[in-house]
Amino acid sequence: MSADHWWQQGIVYQIYPRSFQDSNGDGIGDLDGIRARLDHLVALGVDAVWISPIYPSPMADFGYDISDYCDIDPRFGTLAGFDALVSEIHARRLKLILDFVPNHTSDRHPWFMQSRSARSDPRRDWYLWRDPAPDGGPPNNWLSNFGGPAWTLDPATGQYYCHSFLKEQPDLNWRNPEVRAAMYEVLRFWLRRGVDGFRVDVLSDLIKDEHFRDNPPNPAFVAGQDPAHRWLPLYSTDRPEMQQIVAELRRVVDAFSDAASSRVLIGELYLPLSRMVAYYGLSAEGVLEGVQLPFNFQLIAAPWQARRIDRLVRDYEAALPAGAAPNWVLGNHDKPRIASRVGPQMARLAAMLLLTLRGTPTLYYGDEIGMTDVAIRPEEVQDPFEKRVPGKGLGRDPERTPMQWSDAPQAGFTTGTPWLRLADDWRERNVESQAGDPASMLTLYRRLIALRRAQPALNRGGYEALESEADVLAYAREFEGQRVVVLLNFGAGAVPLSTTPLPARSIVLASTDPSRGELVQNGSLVLAPYEGVVIGTGSAA
Ligand code: TEU
Ligand code: CA
């Protein structure tokens, strides 16, 4: 396998733009804010920035409802400001990945306004319109991911339109060739402006069953959980026709790739392993024609135990088609933060896991300083998902709070009032306070990233699962004869390692425990509770 592409060797950093840095005091993060904070990304050592949607939007779903695919929302900046950001990002040898939202537009997008204007409108077929059921209700039983039916009646024309998310986010009809052509032009618009790739929103859902059949019951559904899971999304997700679309998207993007700059597609897919790897698009000839990185979200749902994670990594490695690039994710703007899911000590272990597994890591802003979920008072809720399905812990505001930069007012995020409250701990937990602290989470992230960069075994090497004892996860990474062993103690007890073979003349290259020295005595070592170490023969980072 050639591992020459930046998106294989690099690290992706996700910015939720509303929450990263405000530059004009309106309490909302923006592009000039991101521009002002690029040095943080350089100091951290990441390679690419993925920015969640920045296009004109009524903000019903905070930018995932787009009313113009080829402009910048005035709250975030201007096209000229965007171009300036692209040059500054590239000047720092970073890559820029935009969010592409092809499943749905805003209901304020001119395409939808035309489509809904009349049954005879030329754009009628750009969206999914169906007659009511005989009883006047929705055409089938499909549910919106954000609560309620996936169908809303348009009284003026007497038909329902389909929306997998909010009614303000009507689903496009990807069976219509004009829709495809228009959306591919959107990709070209940004590729011409120098964008290095796209994270593709809900990639699996673009094509729906042509007969709009009812989804079957989900036997695992338990009353009280997310109501959208009542049915198995058999006819609304991951249809066979998706593979052709994925290949088309890839060809559009590949046309802009050359030896100097390869462009990447990252697919957002919440699918079982065997279906997720299908989006690499392995052809009969053995060529990978799909997205280069189908997001691997398995660590987000995983029980935090060594044996379970060991199995999950082995299964993933085994399921990858030949030549496929693996990737790993601990969190994003839709899921509870890692530090809240596993606690502050295990979050350090999680950082080591993310940055030493084989595959492109994606890091969610704020996780590098151990930011936690923030409880949002009911009257302060912003997320439409929480508003529509309240009180079930599904809301996404807790993981979207402003980045904590310093102990200046509002953590340095804004001079105004932040759109969402800050975490209570911002005076202590911030980039400035952690930058000089050898024991901080930020220092750990910087060291692990630097080590990954310095050790080809870590960013290019193969993955070898090792047997180990107790609640320890052990694996080796090896490249051109250079071998690194990673040992992660998920348990609350100290573990004297006796069986895991360490490389000859071993030293500790990194530990989650800041007090650990380099020395490995007599080829053996005692792991502290929740300690992770990287063992090798080079010099420590
Ligand atoms: O998320 C798609 C998705 O699957 C979410 O519904 C997710 O399951 C949910 O947030 C529960 O965690 C993408 C975006 O990442 C999300 O922010 C958007 O709201 C959504 O698409 C619609 O565009
Ligand atoms: Ca602003």
pLDDT band at 541 (very low <50, low <70, confident <90, very high): low
Superfamily of segment(s) 3-106+175-448? Glycosidases (3.20.20.80)
Contact 472, 491 (CB under 8 A): yes
The predicted structure's pLDDT at residue 538: 67
pLDDT of residue 505: 85
Is 171 within 8 Å of 236 (Cβ atoms)? no
Residue 425: CB atoms within 10 A of its CB come to 15
Q: How sure is the predictor about 497, in pLDDT bands with cuts at 50, 70 and 90?
A: confident
Of 523 and 515, the one with more pLDDT = 515
Residue 158: the pLDDT is 98
Report the pLDDT value the prediction gives residue 501, as an integer from 0 to 100. Answer: 77
CATH superfamily of 110-162: Oligo-1,6-glucosidase; Domain 2 (3.90.400.10)
Pocket test for ligand 1, best of 51, 198, 201 (most atoms within 8 A of CB): 201
Residue 120 CA to residue 416 CA, distance in Å, equals 48
| DSSP class of 503 | P
pLDDT of residue 218 exceeding 50: yes
Q: In 3-state terms, what secondary structure has residue 272?
A: coil
Domain ranges for the chain, please list them: 3-106+175-448, 110-162, 461-536
Closest CA to 469 of 450, 445, 441, 488: 488
Distance CA 351, CA 367 (A): 9
Is 164 a residue whose pLDDT tops 50? yes
| Ligand 2 center from residue 75 Cα (angstroms) | 6
- Give dist(CA 158, CA 1) in Å, integer: 55
CATH of 461-536 among 2.60.40.1180, 3.40.50.150, 3.40.50.2300, 2.170.190.11: 2.60.40.1180
The reported pLDDT for the residue numbered 1 is 43
Q: What percent of the chain has pLDDT over 70?
A: 99
Tell me the CA–centroid distance for residue 103 and ligand 1, in Å: 11
Residue-level length of the chain: 541
**Is 145 close to ligand 1, i.e. is its CB under 6 Å away?**
yes
Ligand nearest to the CA of 34: 2
State residue 539's pLDDT score: 59
Kind plus residue range of the DSSP H or E element containing 243: helix 242-254
User: Per-residue pLDDT averaged across 224-232, rounded?
Assistant: 95
Q: Over the stretch 182-206, which tens digit does the pLDDT of each residue have?
A: 999 999 999 999 999 999 999 999 9
Instruction: Output the six-digit token pair for 280.
Output: 């690499």
Q: How confident is the model at residue 540 (pLDDT cuts 50, 70, 90)?
A: low
Catalytic-residue membership of 268: yes
| CA nearest neighbour of 14 among 366, 497, 499 | 366
Predicted local distance difference test score (pLDDT) of residue 93: 97
CA–CA separation, 244 and 242 (whole Å): 5
Q: Which atom of ligand 1 is nearest to the CA of 165?
A: 22
Nearest Cα neighbor of 373 from 394, 396, 348, 404 is: 396
Do 289 and 453 contact (CB within 8 A), yes or no? no
Q: What is the mean pLDDT of residues 355-367?
A: 98
The Cβ of residue 305 has, within 10 Å, a number of other Cβ atoms equal to: 13
How many angstroms separate the CA atoms of 85 and 405, rounded? 20
Q: What percent of the chain lies above the pLDDT cut of 90? A: 94
| Mean pLDDT estimate for the chain | 96
* pLDDT at 276 exceeding the cut of 50: yes
For 159-226, the three-class secondary structure string (H helix, E strand, C coil) is EEEECCCCCCCCEECCCCHHHHHHHHHHHHHHHHCCCCEEEECCHHHCCCCCCCCCCCECCCCCCCCC
Q: Is the CB of 226 under 6 A from ligand 1?
A: no
* 8 A C-beta contact, residue 333 and residue 16: yes
Give the mutation target among 107, 202, 386 for probing the ligand 1 site: most ligand atoms within 8 A of CB. 202
Compute the Cα dihedral for 254, 258, 259, 265 and give only its sign.
negative
Express each pLDDT in 448-492 by its tens digit. 999 999 999 999 999 999 999 889 999 999 999 999 999 999 999
Q: What confidence tens digit (pLDDT) does each residue in 511-521 have? A: 999 999 998 87
Ligand 1 site, residue 101, Cβ cutoff 6 A: yes
| CA 334 to ligand 1 centroid distance, Å | 6
* pLDDT(295) > 90: yes
pLDDT digits (tens, 9 = 90+) for 427-459: 999 999 999 999 999 999 999 999 999 999 999
CA distances from 355 to 15, 107, 316 (A): 18, 40, 16
For range 67-71, the mean pLDDT: 99
**Does residue 98 surpass a pLDDT of 50?**
yes
For ligand 2, the distance from its centroid to the CA atom of residue 420, given in whole angstroms, is 13
Is residue 487 within 8 Å of residue 461, measured between CB atoms? Answer: no
Asked whether 477 and 486 are in contact (CB, 8 A), the reply is yes
Q: What is the pTM of this model?
A: 0.97
Say how far residue 348 (Cα) sits from the centre of its chain: 19
Q: How far apart are the first and last CA of the chain?
A: 27
For residue 393, is pLDDT > 80? yes
Active-site choice (61, 168, 201, 383): 201
* Cβ of residue 386 lying under 6 Å from some atom of ligand 1: no
Q: Is 232 helix (H, G, I), strand (E, B) or coil?
A: coil
Cβ contact 469:478 at 8 Å: no
- Whether 94 has a pLDDT exceeding 90, the answer reads yes
| Residue 60 backbone phi and psi in degrees, to 5 | -65, -35
* Pairing of the two strands 532-536 and 482-489: antiparallel
Query: Whole-angstrom Cα distance, residue 196 to residue 359?
Result: 19
Angle formed at CA 511 by CA 506 and CA 512, multiple of 5 degrees: 165
Asked if residues 195 and 132 have their Cβ atoms less than 8 Å apart, the reply is: no
pLDDT of 507 reads 94
201 is known as an active-site residue: yes
In Å, how far are 67, 202, 350 from 329, measured between CA atoms?
A: 29, 16, 10
